[in-house]
Amino acid sequence: MSTIGTGYDLSVTTFSPDGRVFQIEYATKAVDNSGTVVGVRCKDGVVLGVEKLISSKMLLEGSNRRIHAINRHAGMALAGLAADGRQIVTRARTEAANYLSFYGEDVPIKELSNRVAHYSHLCTLYWWLRPFGSSSIIGGYDIDGPQLYTIDPSGVAYRYYGAAIGKGRQAAKTEIEKLRLAQMTCREGVMAVAKIIYGVHDESKDKSFELEMSWVCDESKREHQRIPSDLLMEAKAMARDAQEDDLDAF
Amino acid sequence: MDAPHSMGTTIIGMEYAEGVILGADSRTTTGLYVANRASDKITQLTDNVYVCRSGSAADSQVVSDYVRYFLNQHTIQIGKAASVKTAATLVRELSYQNKSFLETGLIVAGWDIHEGGSVYGVPLGGTMLRLPFATGGSGCSYLYGFLDQAWQPNMSREDAEKLVVKAIALAIARDGASGGVVRTINVNAYGVERNFYAGDQLPLFYDELAPRPTLMQF
């Protein structure tokens, strides 16, 4: 499974003859092996969902959160190495706070994403640092409306209507493309994301998982918050039923 | 000649229905000597934000230059026009952090797409306060009562402009450190327009003499 870098993969400051930086690609593998993270931008907001794989039955439910608030109006969902992700969250929070302090207004989501990308990229330039083994999906709502961005270990930020990272991203992306996001409200988006995450979870390969979801939308008054618990339960139940229906189809 | 140039001044920023009007007199003094009788105290920060300067001429120019520089970079970085609030926040930050070195009162006003017209007063010390109208400079003391009574929300462009010109003319009549011509700038969704009112176009008040052509023979 491993690509043979043949000596060009020992340092992040070395290019390979075909123009690749292998260390960054290896960092991306850390992300690809982690639980799926999905984000969709609906007409009135953004919904984020995480397939949080539970490594031990002893873990308290709700611990090891994968979705973090950056400021009132933006949240970040992480995939990859948890500790690396924590660092990125801290940096994003600092950037948002500094922007508010210096310019007197909430940071535009685009600017926030660019700054996080800039920071991730910084760590790919020096031999004494390693790239972050973590990608993030930023969902936010600013004066220009709801926006969704992903940032990967190489330090690029892309803006999306719908995005998925982690193990089940290929299957998740296929499902997201089927959705009519521009016509969906966030309530409908929550159901769709829950269904997608339950759908891509591989029962045979992985242990159980916990679904973690958040949104920032008109209904939440443009504030980033965890999905209200009743809506989350409804989404989980609906997603579980949908999986059983699919099984029954045999 | 070498004494610090001060702008004993009257400056005004005022909201009206579609945007803002900024107005200022044009006298710059060094002590009792009028160093410049036709100064332009209204300075551009971005396409849509202007600032009225008062107090030390040097300090206000340097603050404006720094803020123009920051806003220029900021506009490029975020990819859209800066808001008036951001411009005012930058002005405030410089004024507050350097309060022991600076002596300048500024009025930041302009138009942006989210708030429409807004006026922010940033006096000595670095307070920042959004107001429907703001006055500054040595001549502002004479205008508080007048503007409290005369300003109405949602005035038309003509009414607001007339009010600003009248107010500055009143201040010029009583304040020795204000004088010269009146300059105004109007900023709204459609753009920016400058106006100039020479002495003979200003209204006259109690006991003032009308300007006359000179009796000197050449």
Q: A98 — contact with chain B (CB < 8 Å)?
A: no
- Band (pLDDT 50/70/90 cuts) for residue B52 is very high
Q: Is the confidence at residue A39, as pLDDT, over 70?
A: yes
Q: Do B90 and A110 touch (CB under 8 A)?
A: no
Which CATH number is B120's domain given? Answer: 3.60.20.10
Contacts of B116 in chain A (CB under 8 A): none
The pLDDT of B99-108, averaged and rounded, is: 96
Q: Do A104 and B89 touch (CB under 8 A)?
A: yes
Tokens of B189: 């969704």
The pLDDT of A84-103, averaged and rounded, is: 96
Q: Do B74 and A108 touch (CB under 8 A)?
A: no
Tokens of A241: 């039923």
Q: Is the confidence at residue A188, as pLDDT, over 90?
A: yes
Catalytic positions of B, written as ranges: 9
- Band (pLDDT 50/70/90 cuts) for residue A1 is very low
- Band (pLDDT 50/70/90 cuts) for residue A98 is very high
What is the per-residue pLDDT for A55? 86
Contacts of A114 in chain B (CB under 8 A): 77
Contacts of B128 in chain A (CB under 8 A): 104
What is the per-residue pLDDT for A3? 57
Q: Is the confidence at residue B217, as pLDDT, over 60?
A: yes
Q: What angle do CA B31, B136, B121 make, to 5 degrees?
A: 140
Interface test with B, best of A101, A103, A222 (most B CBs within 10 A): A103
Q: Do B78 and A102 touch (CB under 8 A)?
A: no
What is the per-residue pLDDT for A248? 62
Q: Do B88 and A104 touch (CB under 8 A)?
A: yes
What is the per-residue pLDDT for A57? 87
Contacts of A102 in chain B (CB under 8 A): 89-90, 93
Measured between CA atoms, the residue of chain A closest to residue B97 is A102
The pLDDT of A94-121, averaged and rounded, is: 96
How close, in Å, is residue A144 to chain B by CA atoms?
Answer: 10
**Most confident listed range (A61-65, B110-114, B199-203):** B110-114
Question: What percent of chain A is modeled with pLDDT above 90?
Answer: 86
Question: What percent of chain A is modeled with pLDDT above 70?
Answer: 96
Question: What percent of chain B is modeled with pLDDT above 90?
Answer: 85
Mean pLDDT of chain B: 93
Q: Do B78 and A111 touch (CB under 8 A)?
A: yes
How close, in Å, is residue A116 to chain B by CA atoms?
Answer: 14
Q: Quick one: CA dihedral A162, A201, A235, A221, positive or negative?
A: negative
Q: Quick one: CA dihedral A224, A27, A37, A164, positive or negative?
A: positive
Measured between CA atoms, the residue of chain B closest to residue A108 is B78
The pLDDT of B82-97, averaged and rounded, is: 97
How close, in Å, is residue B49 to chain A by CA atoms?
Answer: 15
How close, in Å, is residue A84 to chain B by CA atoms?
Answer: 27
Q: A104 — contact with chain B (CB < 8 Å)?
A: yes
Mean pLDDT of chain A: 93
CA B6 to centroid of chain Cα atoms: 15
| pTM as predicted | 0.87
Q: Do A103 and B86 touch (CB under 8 A)?
A: yes
Q: Is the confidence at residue B121, as pLDDT, over 50?
A: yes
Contacts of A105 in chain B (CB under 8 A): 83, 85-86, 89
Measured between CA atoms, the residue of chain A closest to residue B93 is A102
Which of A36-40, A52-56, A174-178, B23-27 has the least mean pLDDT?
Answer: A52-56
Measured between CA atoms, the residue of chain B closest to residue A112 is B78
How close, in Å, is residue A104 to chain B by CA atoms?
Answer: 6
Q: What is the Cα–Cα distance from B194 to B184, expressed in whole angstroms? A: 6
Count of the separate structural domains present in chain B? 1
- Band (pLDDT 50/70/90 cuts) for residue A5 is low
Q: A19 — contact with chain B (CB < 8 Å)?
A: no
Enclosing domain of residue B156 = 5-217
Contacts of B86 in chain A (CB under 8 A): 103-105
What is the per-residue pLDDT for B210? 77
ipTM for this model: 0.81
Q: A103 — contact with chain B (CB < 8 Å)?
A: yes
The pLDDT of A155-171, averaged and rounded, is: 96
How close, in Å, is residue A112 to chain B by CA atoms?
Answer: 10
Domain range annotation of chain A = 22-57+65-249
Higher local confidence (pLDDT), B160 or A61: B160
Q: Please, are residues A200 and A163 in contact by the beta-carbon 8 Å criterion?
A: no
Measured between CA atoms, the residue of chain A closest to residue B94 is A102
The CATH class of the A22-57+65-249 domain is: alpha beta
Q: Do A102 and B90 touch (CB under 8 A)?
A: yes
- Band (pLDDT 50/70/90 cuts) for residue A12 is very high
B79: left (phi over 0), alpha (psi -120 to 50) or beta: left
Q: What residue has token string 């060094």? A: B30
Tokens of A172: 């998740």
Q: How, if at all, do strands B19-24 and B28-30 pair? A: unpaired
Nearest CA to A151 among A228, A215, A84, A105? Answer: A84
Q: Is the confidence at residue B207, as pLDDT, over 90?
A: no
Nearest CA to B73 among A6, A19, A111? Answer: A111
Q: Is the confidence at residue A88, as pLDDT, over 50?
A: yes
Tell me the CA distances in angstroms from A184 to A31, A45, A146, A249, one per residue in order: 29, 10, 13, 27
Interface test with A, best of B49, B73, B86 (most A CBs within 10 A): B86
